[in-house]
Amino acid sequence: MPAISEHILHTPHSGIRRMIELAAGVPDPLMLVSGDPDFVTPGHIIDGAAAAAHGGATGYAPSAGIAALREAIAAKVRARNGLDADVPGVCVTTGGCGGLFSSLLVLVDPGSEVLVPDPGWSNYAAIVHVLRSTPVGYPLDADAGFTLDPAQIEARITPRTRAILLNSPNNPTGTVETEARLRAVLDIAERHDLWVISDECYDQLVFDGRHVSTATLGDPARVVTVFTFSKTYAMTGWRVGYVVAAPDVARQIALHQEPVVSCASTVSQHAALTALRGPQDIVGVMVDAYRSRRDAAIAELDAAGVPTVRPGGSFFLMADIRGAGLGSWAFAQQLLERTGVAIVPGAAFGPAGDGYVRISLAVAQDVVVEGARRLGGLVRELQAG
């Protein structure tokens, strides 16, 4: 038969998925891998979707999203994120992943380069590669809690650079960036005439500090901001996200969803509308739970002498396992084989993540604490030789 595209065969795939596959071969593993909240979507959101479906909302939606949802999103980002947005600048997407893909599809030419955080979510590199561009990692400063270093970003700009991708709060580190550092990156983008794509999918899951939307700090016309309902409302399976951009950019993103997905699920869009219009107390409940899990895991790891990078947001925790004397992949595999705990190697998120492992806080607290206890025990064993 004809050959599959050689380019596609070289797509860098997710180390998260690889760990899930490895864990499938272990009896009753403790899974500290996923970015899928252990909370069920709140009942009123499910009921809102069901009512809409029974009312006939089962056909195609406009490519940019249903009008009522776009209006609600514009109101949300004005009130909560400080963005100067209206309906023409909003496009509903198939999750945050679909928002990132469609945005890069519109903004980046084949053969160009996109600067991505290192460590950073592994699908950034995959999306850029699929679009026949080159991902170029800019290292985050581990000694400063994996924060942005604007000088490291500017040093990697070449004539082929087209965009800078930012992520705050960050996956996998949980770092919440300061206004000053984000503003410095925007200044760099303006000097070099680059796009900025700001992935803000954890914008409401913040424990310490304050989330700042990048587009509020400089020229908003060069910033495309990507959000999702997945994390805030425990709606990962509904696949609804949204992009906020200049109206002409948002329109192109909507047009170019047509040949890929046509539109986000209509029923899911009604669920998202219910989420925005309904009570918001569940968000605080989930944030409090993730914060409690973070603090409990850090206490367990501190007791074992394992350093951590204290996350200010998201629901992930990076543990420093360099004292074990193994790379992060070798350590993760030993942890799984010897203790039944599945975590994600930091190297799965880029070279700067090696020496660390990512612990998911999106599982019950007793599981998080037990996983941290076993991880600390393995580090001590390996240190003892």
Whole-Å CA distances, 240 to 99, 201, 203, 314, 339: 9, 11, 15, 18, 36
Whether residue 169 is preceded by a cis peptide bond, meaning omega within 30 degrees of 0, is: yes
The pLDDT of residue 385: 74
Tell me, letter by letter, the H, E, C secondary structure of 42-101: CHHHHHHHHHHHHCCCCCCCCCCCCHHHHHHHHHHHHHHHCCCCCHHHEEEECHHHHHHH
Of 178, 180, 239, 170, residue with least CA distance to 205: 170
Q: What pTM value is reported for the model?
A: 0.96
Low-confidence residues in the chain, pLDDT < 70: none
Instruction: Give CA–CA dist 299/360, Å, rounded.
Output: 15
The pLDDT of residue 110: 96
The pLDDT of residue 209: 86
C-alpha torsion 378→379→383→384, nearest 10: -30
The pLDDT of residue 183: 98
To which residue do tokens 């310490």 refer? 208
Tell me, letter by letter, the H, E, C secondary structure of 191-251: HHCCEEEEECCCCCCECCCCCCCHHHCCCHHHEEEEEECCCCCCCHHHCCEEEECCHHHHH
Q: Write down the domain spans for the chain.
A: 6-41+281-384, 43-277
Instruction: Give CA–CA dist 255/71, Å, rounded.
Output: 19
Is CATH 3.90.1150.10 correct for 6-41+281-384? yes
Give the pLDDT confidence of 6-28 residue by residue, as tens digits: 999 999 888 898 999 999 999 99
To which residue do tokens 């303006």 refer? 190
Mean per-residue pLDDT of the chain: 96
Q: Which fold has domain 43-277?
A: Aspartate Aminotransferase; domain 2 (3.40.640)
In the three-class reduction of DSSP (H, G, I as helix; E, B as strand; rest coil), residue 355 is classed as: coil
% pLDDT > 90, the chain: 95
